[in-house]
Structure 1
């Protein structure tokens, strides 16, 4: 686990199988976020200063997902395993793929609590 000491981490964070986690210096992880192993909240290498993602309350991040750049993953969103997220994710949406695209809704108000990694239709 590699969490930069300047990263902002909320309360109630759940990291399941906490190996391979990388959270960059300017990343923000709000309350009640769940993530699995091998998640990276990193920069793209093209930005200076505030260069890491902002993960809002109740987000679920699947195993191996990479969320890169100064982007926002809005409240209650779900990121599928092994996705590469390079742009903002709306509230309560599910994204998947490389690069990640919206594939449906999160299917519930707080996906981080249920840990349901299935994909819902739009």
Structure 2
């Protein structure tokens, strides 16, 4: 197993990125513009309506990630769908880096447990980012 150390220190196994799925290729720029318009309108990122935040949850994106990671969590390598549901994980948290919410290189496949753990880590990243 090759380990890739993510930008926030998260360990991930290395995969060759596949081609960007069609839905991202065709829509990511528009989705990003629409989301960035919403960011200053809300006091928290979680307040932004999901119709702007969750556009990356397209079937072709999910299938490409499942194929690329061979159905395994990018962090713990547990089989997805056997003990847990898949999550599309953002290596750079979308709440801190909303301009990268729909970037193919920022999207990864994870299990619910690893996704939850990484959300706890994001609180530390957010606190450090806000200090700068």
Q: If the TM-score is normalised by the length of the shorter chain, which range does it land in?
A: under 0.3
Q: Which has the higher contact order (CA 8 A, sep 6+)?
A: 2
| TM-score computed with the length of structure 2 as normaliser | 0.23
Higher strand share: 1
| TM-score computed with the length of structure 1 as normaliser | 0.24
